[in-house]
Structure 1
């Protein structure tokens, strides 16, 4: 029952976000036209890669500490 409820909730959230896409986003169009959107995407990717490396390093440290105990 929980799976069906969760699936229905996801489908409803998809329908509401799909219905909201009628507006044009001027900032995205301007960034795309000027080529600056690639800079924004690059910065976002760098941040996510940095966070992933940081989290993996913390995980390794915690595993090392757990093995010592």
Structure 2
């Protein structure tokens, strides 16, 4: 049953496309203005966005560090027992 599901999903994935290809022009290479960032910066929202990204990154980093410490403690305990 598992093989059938995998084959089915494989065939479905051949039909799926993310988006059509768009030709890149010379204007795309010379465009240095990012309107979304300029608007967010002028309204002060860019700092909120950067703050949220920093908080998420700090949370993930803290979680990884605490998990690493727990695993190291368990490995030490397992070495002592055996």
* Superposed displacement of residue 37, structure 1: 0.4
Higher RCO by CA contacts (8 Å cutoff, separation 6 or greater): 1
Hey, which of these two has a bigger chunk of helix by percent?
1
Partner of 1:67: 76
Answer with 1 or 2: which has the greater Rg: 2
Return 5+ residue gaps in structure 2 as ranges. 1-28
**TM-score scaled by length of structure 1:** 0.67
* Runs of 4+ with >2 A deviation: 20-23
Among 40, 48, 51, the alignment partner of 1:42 is 51
| Unpaired stretches in structure 1, ≥5 consecutive residues | 1-19
1:24 positional shift:
1.3
Q: How many pairs does the alignment contain?
A: 50
TM-score, normalised by the number of residues in structure 2: 0.57
Alpha-carbon distance in 2 for matches of 1:46, 1:59: 20
